[in-house]
Amino acid sequence: MYEDTVTPDWFGRGVSYQIFPTASAAAASRTRRDGGRPKVHESWADTPDFLPDEQGEVRCRDFFGGDLPGIIGKLDYLQELGVTTLYLTPIFESASNHRYNTADYRAIDPMLGTEEDFCALCSHAHRRGMRVVLDGVFNHTGSVSRYFNADGSYPDLGQPNPRSLLYYNWYRFTRWPEEYDAWWGIKTLPAVEETQASYREFIIQGEDSVVRHWLRCGADGWRLDVADELPDSFIAQLRGALEEEKGRRCAFGRGVGGRHQQDRLRPAPPLSPGPGDPRTHELPLPQGSHGLAAGRRCRRLPRQHGNPSGELSGPRLLQCHELSGHSRYAPDPDPSGRRSHAGEARRNGPSPAYLGRI
């Protein structure tokens, strides 16, 4: 049913550790690309900004100061935990702290460091027997980006959303410039046309494509955001690029599922963070499994590891920015979840992983 594939021997073995960069260790004080100073929290115990602004938008533009050199400084600690794979949520230039609204795929966010810092992180990790996996958000970009430029933040590209813009054909406008296809209708996340030849050349196929460039900088693989919303041919080409780049690289995907699957998801109940740890909103850290929706449970983390209660709601991680209902795609024809993408069987359930403060 599935074609035979070779998975790198390191993938799926050992301990994977997910890092949300802005909330990791900090080694330097940094500014935005335009020199602006974002809101940087003074204390780890601060509550993140999560309420809508006067326009009704949740901007996610407050930061906790974490950066790539800070992560390098914690590699010995991670090695003591037995970590063998580091998975970094998006690190490319973006207007938000979560960085799933990419502004520039070719630039490390200045709040996190530089390309040289990323190369150094990979080098130091490899010396300790660790692999580094990046987060590829290739289904959509940010509206504030080098590609869409909704607010003119990139003046070298001219006026916002010009029809002559090099990247205009990457997007699907129904009424230019106000109405366009966006990920789940979120206008700050304009969806790209992954079938556009110029987009695939830029992301995958070019000699110095985004995928190839960061692999050559030291990355060992890519985690694909909303992989179930990427065309099979796109994933097949991306896999081919990984195999060409020294072969021992991997790609795996996070899938939201079709509408029929979303309808079956139970919304997470409102939970308050544990005592003394009020910093979370999207990822609450309960004291125990009581109060969680059916089918959810807490995983035990090492003592003294980030959350004072030592517990983390593992399945909650998969729900941090998902919504119910999706108008763009038809229901998945195979509700079992076994449908193949580019010859890769889908596997249900996350691998064991740690997420915590470093």
Q: Residue 311 in contact with residue 285, Cβ under 8 Å?
A: yes
Q: Is 124 left (phi over 0), alpha (psi -120 to 50) or beta?
A: alpha
Which residue, 98, 101, 139, is CA-closest to 282? 98
pLDDT value at position 5? 66
Long-range contacts of 208-215 (CB under 8 A, 24+ apart): 209/241, 210/105, 210/106, 210/136, 211/136, 211/238, 211/241, 211/242, 212/241, 212/245, 213/106, 214/118, 214/134, 215/242, 215/245, 215/246, 215/249
Token digits of residue 113: 């460091």
Handedness of CA 141, 147, 149, 150 (dihedral sign): negative
pLDDT value at position 211? 97
Count Cβ neighbours within 10 Å for each residue of 97-127 and write b for 16 or more, e otherwise: bbbbbbbbbebbbebbbbeebbbbbbebbee
Whether the upstream peptide bond of residue 69 has omega within 30° of 0, thus cis, is no
Residue type, 102: T
Query: What is this structure's pTM?
Result: 0.72
pLDDT value at position 27? 85
pLDDT value at position 235? 93
Handedness of CA 169, 174, 176, 180 (dihedral sign): negative
Within the chain, where are the H helices? Answer: 68-72, 75-81, 115-127, 197-200, 210-216, 232-244, 259-264
Which residue, 131, 119, 126, 122, is CA-closest to 9? 131
Residues of the chain with confidence (pLDDT) below 70: 1-5, 29-37, 157-165, 248-249, 254-357
Token digits of residue 197: 């030849």
How far apart CA 127 and CA 344 sit, in angstroms, is 30
Phi, psi of 76 (to 5 degrees): -65, -40
pLDDT value at position 161? 60
CB atoms within 10 A of CB 358: 20
